[in-house]
Amino acid sequence: MKRDFRYAFNALQKIGCPVWTWAYDDENFNISAEDNDPTVWADYWMRDRDDWLFGVNPMVTQILDKYGLHAEWVNPGYLSVYK
């Protein structure tokens, strides 16, 4: 995993955000939208809150922005992070 991805991955993991990588893909990482207890990290259906961008917790968005990354929904269960 490249440095900016690794730093973002570690920062998200440190705040308790459920992140993981696939064994065959070390280019990016994923964020679970299913492990939301007690903190909601991402919710595909939560689109009406002013402080959330596309159903992603602002703490996640801030960390990704810091490293020049963004998350995109793969399906309602998880997001993938890209440059």
The boundaries of the domain holding residue 20 are 3-82
Q: For residue 28, how many other CB atoms are within 10 A of its CB?
A: 19
pLDDT per residue rounded down to tens, the chain (83 residues): 789 999 999 999 999 999 999 877 777 899 999 998 899 999 988 766 667 778 899 999 999 999 999 999 999 999 999 99
pLDDT of the residue at 46: 75
Total domains present in the chain = 1
The bridge status of strand 25-32 relative to strand 70-75 is unpaired
> Is-above-0.85 flag for pTM?
yes
